[in-house]
Structure 1
Protein backbone atom coordinates (compact mmCIF):
# COMPACT_ATOMS: atom_id res chain seq x y z
CA UNK A 1 0.00 0.00 0.00
CA UNK A 2 2.83 2.39 0.89
CA UNK A 3 4.56 1.59 -2.43
CA UNK A 4 1.40 2.51 -4.32
CA UNK A 5 1.05 5.80 -2.41
CA UNK A 6 4.67 6.65 -3.17
CA UNK A 7 4.15 5.91 -6.86
CA UNK A 8 1.03 8.09 -6.93
CA UNK A 9 2.90 10.94 -5.27
CA UNK A 10 5.78 10.61 -7.73
CA UNK A 11 3.39 10.56 -10.69
CA UNK A 12 1.37 13.52 -9.42
CA UNK A 13 4.53 15.50 -8.67
CA UNK A 14 5.88 14.73 -12.14
CA UNK A 15 2.64 15.67 -13.91
CA UNK A 16 2.14 18.96 -12.09
CA UNK A 17 5.85 19.74 -12.29
CA UNK A 18 5.74 19.24 -16.06
CA UNK A 19 2.95 21.79 -16.42
CA UNK A 20 5.19 24.41 -14.84
CA UNK A 21 8.32 23.36 -16.73
CA UNK A 22 6.56 23.62 -20.09
CA UNK A 23 5.62 27.27 -19.59
CA UNK A 24 8.44 29.44 -20.95
CA UNK A 25 10.23 31.68 -18.51
CA UNK A 26 13.69 33.10 -17.79
CA UNK A 27 15.11 29.67 -16.87
CA UNK A 28 13.97 28.11 -20.16
CA UNK A 29 15.45 30.90 -22.27
CA UNK A 30 18.69 30.76 -20.31
CA UNK A 31 18.88 26.99 -20.78
CA UNK A 32 18.43 27.35 -24.54
CA UNK A 33 21.15 29.96 -24.84
CA UNK A 34 23.59 28.03 -22.65
CA UNK A 35 22.94 24.76 -24.47
CA UNK A 36 23.90 26.40 -27.77
CA UNK A 37 27.23 27.33 -26.20
CA UNK A 38 27.99 24.55 -23.72
CA UNK A 39 26.02 21.50 -24.88
CA UNK A 40 23.35 19.31 -23.33
CA UNK A 41 24.75 19.42 -19.78
CA UNK A 42 23.54 23.02 -19.53
CA UNK A 43 20.00 21.77 -18.86
CA UNK A 44 20.76 19.56 -15.83
CA UNK A 45 23.15 22.14 -14.40
CA UNK A 46 20.61 24.97 -14.62
CA UNK A 47 17.93 22.73 -13.07
CA UNK A 48 20.28 21.93 -10.17
CA UNK A 49 20.35 25.62 -9.27
CA UNK A 50 16.56 25.71 -9.52
CA UNK A 51 16.31 22.64 -7.27
CA UNK A 52 18.46 24.29 -4.60
CA UNK A 53 15.90 27.08 -4.29
CA UNK A 54 12.96 24.67 -4.17
CA UNK A 55 14.75 22.48 -1.64
CA UNK A 56 15.03 25.40 0.76
CA UNK A 57 11.37 26.31 0.22
CA UNK A 58 10.25 22.70 0.72
CA UNK A 59 12.20 22.42 3.98
CA UNK A 60 10.69 25.67 5.22
CA UNK A 61 7.20 24.46 4.34
CA UNK A 62 7.69 21.10 6.05
CA UNK A 63 9.47 22.68 9.03
CA UNK A 64 6.41 24.74 9.82
CA UNK A 65 3.92 21.98 9.11
CA UNK A 66 3.33 21.22 12.80
CA UNK A 67 1.58 24.54 13.21
CA UNK A 68 -0.80 23.69 10.35
CA UNK A 69 -1.75 20.12 11.15
CA UNK A 70 -4.68 19.92 13.52
CA UNK A 71 -5.95 23.41 12.72
CA UNK A 72 -8.17 24.98 10.10
CA UNK A 73 -5.18 26.53 8.36
CA UNK A 74 -4.49 23.44 6.23
CA UNK A 75 -8.00 23.66 4.81
CA UNK A 76 -7.53 27.32 3.93
CA UNK A 77 -4.20 26.59 2.26
CA UNK A 78 -5.79 23.74 0.29
CA UNK A 79 -8.62 25.95 -0.96
CA UNK A 80 -6.25 28.76 -1.94
CA UNK A 81 -3.91 26.26 -3.59
CA UNK A 82 -6.73 24.64 -5.55
CA UNK A 83 -7.92 28.04 -6.74
CA UNK A 84 -4.38 28.91 -7.81
CA UNK A 85 -4.01 25.63 -9.73
CA UNK A 86 -7.25 26.36 -11.56
CA UNK A 87 -6.13 29.88 -12.47
CA UNK A 88 -2.74 28.61 -13.65
CA UNK A 89 -4.53 26.00 -15.77
CA UNK A 90 -6.84 28.55 -17.35
CA UNK A 91 -3.91 30.84 -18.15
CA UNK A 92 -1.95 27.93 -19.61
CA UNK A 93 -4.81 27.01 -21.95
CA UNK A 94 -5.49 30.67 -22.83
CA UNK A 95 -1.87 31.42 -23.72
CA UNK A 96 -0.98 28.03 -25.24
CA UNK A 97 -0.97 29.21 -28.84
CA UNK A 98 1.15 32.31 -28.22
CA UNK A 99 3.47 30.47 -25.85
CA UNK A 100 4.10 27.61 -28.26
CA UNK A 101 4.84 30.03 -31.09
CA UNK A 102 7.37 32.19 -29.25
CA UNK A 103 8.43 30.22 -26.19
CA UNK A 104 11.19 28.09 -27.73
CA UNK A 105 13.02 30.83 -29.56
CA UNK A 106 16.39 31.61 -27.96
CA UNK A 107 16.46 35.02 -29.58
CA UNK A 108 13.55 36.23 -27.46
CA UNK A 109 15.22 36.09 -24.07
CA UNK A 110 17.72 38.95 -24.12
CA UNK A 111 19.34 37.60 -20.95
CA UNK A 112 22.75 38.66 -19.68
CA UNK A 113 24.08 35.23 -18.87
CA UNK A 114 26.44 34.32 -16.07
CA UNK A 115 29.10 31.75 -16.87
CA UNK A 116 27.85 29.46 -14.07
CA UNK A 117 24.76 27.41 -15.09
CA UNK A 118 23.92 26.50 -11.47
CA UNK A 119 23.97 30.15 -10.43
CA UNK A 120 21.89 30.98 -13.48
CA UNK A 121 19.26 28.40 -12.49
CA UNK A 122 19.10 29.90 -9.02
CA UNK A 123 18.91 33.51 -10.25
CA UNK A 124 16.29 32.89 -12.93
CA UNK A 125 14.14 31.04 -10.38
CA UNK A 126 14.13 33.62 -7.60
CA UNK A 127 13.66 36.48 -10.08
CA UNK A 128 10.55 34.93 -11.63
CA UNK A 129 7.29 36.23 -10.03
CA UNK A 130 5.40 33.19 -11.34
CA UNK A 131 7.75 30.96 -9.30
CA UNK A 132 6.92 32.73 -6.04
CA UNK A 133 3.18 32.90 -6.71
CA UNK A 134 3.19 29.17 -7.39
CA UNK A 135 5.10 28.16 -4.27
CA UNK A 136 3.25 30.53 -1.94
CA UNK A 137 -0.10 29.11 -3.04
CA UNK A 138 -0.44 25.86 -4.98
CA UNK A 139 3.05 24.50 -4.29
CA UNK A 140 2.85 24.82 -0.52
CA UNK A 141 -0.68 23.39 -0.48
CA UNK A 142 0.38 20.30 -2.44
CA UNK A 143 3.44 19.66 -0.28
CA UNK A 144 1.35 20.01 2.90
CA UNK A 145 -1.36 17.73 1.55
CA UNK A 146 1.22 15.09 0.72
CA UNK A 147 2.68 15.48 4.22
CA UNK A 148 -0.65 14.45 5.72
CA UNK A 149 0.14 10.94 4.44
CA UNK A 150 3.66 11.04 5.82
CA UNK A 151 7.04 12.61 5.20
CA UNK A 152 7.96 9.87 2.69
CA UNK A 153 4.94 10.72 0.54
CA UNK A 154 5.79 14.40 0.66
CA UNK A 155 9.39 13.69 -0.37
CA UNK A 156 8.14 11.46 -3.19
CA UNK A 157 5.95 14.28 -4.50
CA UNK A 158 8.86 16.73 -4.43
CA UNK A 159 11.15 14.21 -6.18
CA UNK A 160 8.51 13.70 -8.88
CA UNK A 161 8.34 17.47 -9.34
CA UNK A 162 12.12 17.70 -9.75
CA UNK A 163 12.17 14.74 -12.13
CA UNK A 164 9.81 16.62 -14.43
CA UNK A 165 12.04 19.70 -14.39
CA UNK A 166 15.17 17.64 -15.01
CA UNK A 167 13.59 15.62 -17.82
CA UNK A 168 12.17 18.59 -19.70
CA UNK A 169 15.18 20.89 -19.44
CA UNK A 170 17.59 18.07 -20.29
CA UNK A 171 15.51 17.34 -23.39
CA UNK A 172 15.54 21.03 -24.30
CA UNK A 173 19.30 21.43 -23.84
CA UNK A 174 20.00 18.18 -25.68
CA UNK A 175 17.81 19.27 -28.56
CA UNK A 176 19.14 22.81 -28.92
CA UNK A 177 22.74 21.68 -28.52
CA UNK A 178 22.18 19.87 -31.81
CA UNK A 179 20.76 22.98 -33.42
CA UNK A 180 17.07 22.02 -33.56
CA UNK A 181 13.96 22.10 -31.39
CA UNK A 182 12.56 19.02 -29.69
CA UNK A 183 8.90 19.63 -30.54
CA UNK A 184 7.09 21.43 -33.30
CA UNK A 185 5.03 24.48 -32.32
CA UNK A 186 1.83 22.51 -32.87
CA UNK A 187 2.95 19.62 -30.65
CA UNK A 188 4.09 22.02 -27.94
CA UNK A 189 0.72 23.79 -28.10
CA UNK A 190 -1.21 20.51 -27.71
CA UNK A 191 0.93 19.52 -24.73
CA UNK A 192 0.20 22.87 -23.09
CA UNK A 193 -3.54 22.43 -23.74
CA UNK A 194 -3.43 18.99 -22.08
CA UNK A 195 -1.41 20.23 -19.09
CA UNK A 196 -3.64 23.28 -18.64
CA UNK A 197 -6.77 21.14 -18.71
CA UNK A 198 -5.24 18.78 -16.13
CA UNK A 199 -4.46 21.72 -13.84
CA UNK A 200 -8.01 23.08 -14.14
CA UNK A 201 -9.68 19.79 -13.19
CA UNK A 202 -7.17 18.96 -10.46
CA UNK A 203 -7.40 22.49 -9.04
CA UNK A 204 -11.19 22.36 -8.90
CA UNK A 205 -11.09 18.96 -7.23
CA UNK A 206 -8.42 20.12 -4.78
CA UNK A 207 -10.42 23.25 -3.94
CA UNK A 208 -13.88 21.72 -3.48
CA UNK A 209 -12.85 18.31 -2.16
CA UNK A 210 -9.68 19.12 -0.25
CA UNK A 211 -10.36 16.45 2.38
CA UNK A 212 -10.39 13.76 -0.29
CA UNK A 213 -7.52 15.18 -2.31
CA UNK A 214 -5.04 13.21 -0.23
CA UNK A 215 -6.41 10.03 -1.86
CA UNK A 216 -4.75 11.15 -5.10
CA UNK A 217 -1.30 10.78 -3.54
Structure 2
Protein backbone atom coordinates (compact mmCIF):
# COMPACT_ATOMS: atom_id res chain seq x y z
CA UNK A 1 0.00 0.00 0.00
CA UNK A 2 2.82 2.39 0.89
CA UNK A 3 4.38 1.70 -2.54
CA UNK A 4 1.16 2.71 -4.28
CA UNK A 5 0.98 5.89 -2.18
CA UNK A 6 4.56 6.72 -3.15
CA UNK A 7 3.83 6.17 -6.84
CA UNK A 8 0.62 8.23 -6.79
CA UNK A 9 2.40 10.99 -4.86
CA UNK A 10 5.13 11.09 -7.48
CA UNK A 11 2.66 11.22 -10.37
CA UNK A 12 0.75 14.04 -8.67
CA UNK A 13 3.98 15.93 -8.09
CA UNK A 14 5.00 15.51 -11.74
CA UNK A 15 1.63 16.76 -12.95
CA UNK A 16 1.82 19.73 -10.55
CA UNK A 17 4.95 20.83 -12.43
CA UNK A 18 3.95 19.91 -15.99
CA UNK A 19 0.24 20.76 -16.19
CA UNK A 20 -0.11 24.43 -15.09
CA UNK A 21 -0.23 27.02 -17.92
CA UNK A 22 3.08 28.68 -18.71
CA UNK A 23 5.81 29.11 -21.32
CA UNK A 24 6.66 25.38 -21.57
CA UNK A 25 3.10 24.38 -22.37
CA UNK A 26 2.88 27.27 -24.84
CA UNK A 27 5.88 25.87 -26.70
CA UNK A 28 4.49 22.32 -26.58
CA UNK A 29 1.13 23.58 -27.86
CA UNK A 30 2.73 25.46 -30.74
CA UNK A 31 4.76 22.43 -31.84
CA UNK A 32 1.76 20.10 -31.49
CA UNK A 33 -0.71 22.03 -33.65
CA UNK A 34 1.84 23.18 -36.20
CA UNK A 35 3.86 20.00 -36.73
CA UNK A 36 1.96 17.12 -35.16
CA UNK A 37 1.88 14.98 -32.04
CA UNK A 38 5.45 13.73 -32.37
CA UNK A 39 6.82 17.27 -32.47
CA UNK A 40 4.72 18.22 -29.44
CA UNK A 41 5.89 15.13 -27.57
CA UNK A 42 9.53 15.85 -28.45
CA UNK A 43 9.10 19.38 -27.16
CA UNK A 44 7.72 17.93 -23.92
CA UNK A 45 10.72 15.60 -23.70
CA UNK A 46 12.99 18.65 -23.89
CA UNK A 47 11.32 20.16 -20.82
CA UNK A 48 11.40 16.79 -19.03
CA UNK A 49 15.11 16.39 -19.78
CA UNK A 50 15.69 19.79 -18.19
CA UNK A 51 13.78 18.58 -15.12
CA UNK A 52 16.02 15.51 -14.99
CA UNK A 53 19.01 17.87 -14.98
CA UNK A 54 17.41 19.93 -12.20
CA UNK A 55 16.83 16.74 -10.20
CA UNK A 56 20.52 15.81 -10.47
CA UNK A 57 21.53 19.37 -9.54
CA UNK A 58 19.14 19.34 -6.58
CA UNK A 59 20.57 16.03 -5.42
CA UNK A 60 24.09 17.48 -5.69
CA UNK A 61 23.07 20.58 -3.72
CA UNK A 62 23.47 23.04 -6.62
CA UNK A 63 19.80 24.08 -6.57
CA UNK A 64 20.15 25.02 -2.89
CA UNK A 65 23.20 27.11 -3.84
CA UNK A 66 21.17 28.98 -6.48
CA UNK A 67 18.64 29.92 -3.78
CA UNK A 68 21.35 32.03 -2.09
CA UNK A 69 22.84 33.51 -5.29
CA UNK A 70 20.62 36.44 -6.33
CA UNK A 71 23.02 37.63 -9.04
CA UNK A 72 22.99 34.20 -10.69
CA UNK A 73 19.20 34.09 -10.42
CA UNK A 74 18.94 37.49 -12.11
CA UNK A 75 21.26 36.38 -14.92
CA UNK A 76 19.20 33.22 -15.51
CA UNK A 77 15.99 35.27 -15.58
CA UNK A 78 17.51 37.67 -18.13
CA UNK A 79 18.67 34.83 -20.40
CA UNK A 80 15.33 33.05 -20.02
CA UNK A 81 13.42 36.24 -20.80
CA UNK A 82 15.42 36.88 -23.97
CA UNK A 83 14.94 33.28 -25.11
CA UNK A 84 11.18 33.42 -24.57
CA UNK A 85 10.88 36.72 -26.46
CA UNK A 86 12.83 35.17 -29.34
CA UNK A 87 10.60 32.09 -29.33
CA UNK A 88 7.54 34.38 -29.21
CA UNK A 89 8.70 36.04 -32.42
CA UNK A 90 9.15 32.61 -34.01
CA UNK A 91 5.68 31.48 -32.90
CA UNK A 92 4.04 34.61 -34.33
CA UNK A 93 5.94 34.28 -37.60
CA UNK A 94 4.97 30.61 -37.87
CA UNK A 95 1.30 31.45 -37.22
CA UNK A 96 1.37 34.18 -39.89
CA UNK A 97 3.23 32.27 -42.58
CA UNK A 98 2.29 28.69 -41.75
CA UNK A 99 4.52 25.99 -40.26
CA UNK A 100 7.83 25.70 -42.03
CA UNK A 101 9.75 22.45 -42.27
CA UNK A 102 12.21 22.22 -39.39
CA UNK A 103 14.55 19.52 -38.19
CA UNK A 104 13.02 17.03 -35.78
CA UNK A 105 15.10 18.17 -32.80
CA UNK A 106 14.17 21.87 -33.01
CA UNK A 107 11.24 21.67 -30.59
CA UNK A 108 13.28 19.58 -28.15
CA UNK A 109 16.09 22.13 -28.12
CA UNK A 110 13.73 25.08 -27.65
CA UNK A 111 11.97 23.66 -24.59
CA UNK A 112 15.20 22.28 -23.12
CA UNK A 113 16.96 25.65 -23.27
CA UNK A 114 13.88 27.56 -22.15
CA UNK A 115 13.26 25.20 -19.22
CA UNK A 116 16.85 25.42 -17.98
CA UNK A 117 16.51 29.21 -17.66
CA UNK A 118 12.83 29.30 -16.65
CA UNK A 119 12.55 31.04 -13.23
CA UNK A 120 9.18 29.38 -12.60
CA UNK A 121 10.73 25.94 -13.03
CA UNK A 122 13.67 26.87 -10.83
CA UNK A 123 11.34 28.17 -8.10
CA UNK A 124 9.36 24.92 -8.28
CA UNK A 125 12.55 22.95 -7.70
CA UNK A 126 13.48 25.20 -4.79
CA UNK A 127 10.11 24.51 -3.15
CA UNK A 128 7.91 21.55 -4.13
CA UNK A 129 10.71 19.75 -5.96
CA UNK A 130 12.69 19.33 -2.75
CA UNK A 131 10.11 16.67 -1.77
CA UNK A 132 11.72 14.30 -4.26
CA UNK A 133 14.85 14.29 -2.12
CA UNK A 134 12.94 13.68 1.13
CA UNK A 135 11.10 10.36 1.63
CA UNK A 136 8.87 12.02 4.21
CA UNK A 137 5.75 13.78 2.97
CA UNK A 138 4.88 15.07 -0.50
CA UNK A 139 2.44 17.91 -1.19
CA UNK A 140 0.87 18.33 -4.63
CA UNK A 141 -2.31 20.13 -5.73
CA UNK A 142 -2.99 21.01 -2.09
CA UNK A 143 -2.99 17.37 -0.92
CA UNK A 144 -0.34 16.03 1.44
CA UNK A 145 0.68 12.40 1.07
CA UNK A 146 2.07 10.47 4.04
CA UNK A 147 5.47 8.82 4.32
CA UNK A 148 6.70 7.89 0.86
CA UNK A 149 9.38 5.73 -0.72
CA UNK A 150 11.89 8.05 -2.38
CA UNK A 151 12.71 5.85 -5.40
CA UNK A 152 9.04 5.16 -6.21
CA UNK A 153 8.17 8.83 -5.80
CA UNK A 154 10.90 9.83 -8.25
CA UNK A 155 9.71 7.20 -10.73
CA UNK A 156 6.11 8.37 -10.35
CA UNK A 157 7.22 11.98 -10.81
CA UNK A 158 8.67 11.37 -14.26
CA UNK A 159 5.72 9.10 -15.15
CA UNK A 160 3.41 12.02 -14.33
CA UNK A 161 5.35 14.30 -16.66
CA UNK A 162 5.27 11.65 -19.41
CA UNK A 163 1.49 11.33 -19.05
CA UNK A 164 1.13 15.08 -19.56
CA UNK A 165 3.55 15.52 -22.48
CA UNK A 166 1.90 12.59 -24.30
CA UNK A 167 -1.72 13.48 -23.50
CA UNK A 168 -1.60 17.27 -23.95
CA UNK A 169 -0.34 17.18 -27.58
CA UNK A 170 -2.82 14.38 -28.37
CA UNK A 171 -5.75 16.49 -27.15
CA UNK A 172 -4.52 19.45 -29.19
CA UNK A 173 -4.26 17.32 -32.33
CA UNK A 174 -7.82 16.05 -31.86
CA UNK A 175 -9.01 19.64 -31.42
CA UNK A 176 -6.97 20.75 -34.43
CA UNK A 177 -8.66 18.19 -36.65
CA UNK A 178 -12.04 19.58 -35.60
CA UNK A 179 -11.19 23.30 -35.78
CA UNK A 180 -9.51 24.48 -38.98
CA UNK A 181 -8.21 27.74 -37.51
CA UNK A 182 -6.79 26.20 -34.31
CA UNK A 183 -3.21 26.20 -35.60
CA UNK A 184 -3.22 29.95 -36.16
CA UNK A 185 -5.07 30.67 -32.91
CA UNK A 186 -2.66 28.54 -30.86
CA UNK A 187 0.31 30.01 -32.70
CA UNK A 188 -0.62 33.60 -31.91
CA UNK A 189 -1.76 32.62 -28.40
CA UNK A 190 1.57 30.92 -27.74
CA UNK A 191 3.40 34.00 -29.01
CA UNK A 192 1.48 36.22 -26.59
CA UNK A 193 2.11 33.88 -23.63
CA UNK A 194 5.82 33.57 -24.42
CA UNK A 195 6.19 37.33 -24.90
CA UNK A 196 4.40 38.13 -21.62
CA UNK A 197 6.53 35.70 -19.64
CA UNK A 198 9.69 36.83 -21.44
CA UNK A 199 9.10 40.51 -20.61
CA UNK A 200 8.12 39.59 -17.05
CA UNK A 201 11.36 37.64 -16.55
CA UNK A 202 13.44 40.48 -18.02
CA UNK A 203 11.78 43.07 -15.75
CA UNK A 204 12.22 40.77 -12.75
CA UNK A 205 15.91 40.36 -13.59
CA UNK A 206 16.38 44.14 -13.60
TM normalised by structure 2 equals 0.55
Note the C-alpha offset of 1:67. Answer: 3.8
Alignment of 1:31-42 (within 5 A): 31=37
Q: In the superposition, relative to structure 1, how do residues 32 and 56 fare at CA in structure 2: closer, same or farther (>3 Å)?
A: closer
Distance in 2 (alpha carbons) for counterparts of 1:172 and 1:161: 17
Q: Kindly tell me: are residues 17 and 102 of structure 1, through their superposed partners in 2, closer, same or farther at Cα, counting changes over 3 Å?
A: same
Is 1:16–1:199's contact at 8 Å kept on the other side of the alignment?
yes
Q: CA deviation at 1:16?
A: 2.7
Measured in 2, the distance between the counterparts of 1:11 and 1:51 equals 9
Q: Which residue pairs with 1:14 in the alignment?
A: 21
Q: Distance in 2 between matches of 1:147 and 1:47?
A: 20
Q: Distance in 2 between matches of 1:86 and 1:48?
A: 19
Aligned residues: 170
Matched residue, 2:171: 171
2:110 to 126, 130, 143: 130
Give deviations 1:57-106, integer Å, cap 9, x for gaps: 23213223x2453578632332122112321332244334321145557x
- Contact in 1 for aligned 2:26/2:194 (Cα 8 Å): yes
Q: Is 2:172 the partner of 1:194?
A: no
RMSD: 4.6
CA gap 1:56/1:195 in 2 versus in 1, 3 angstroms: same
Q: Secondary structure at the match of 2:21?
A: helix
Consecutive unaligned residues of structure 1, counting only runs of 5 or more, are 1-5, 34-42, 112-123, 209-217
Matching residue within 60, 69, 73 for 2:64: 69
1:80 aligns with 2:75: yes
TM-score, normalisation: structure 1: 0.52
Q: Please give the secondary structure, in 2, of the residue aligned with 1:69.
A: helix
Partner of 1:203: 201
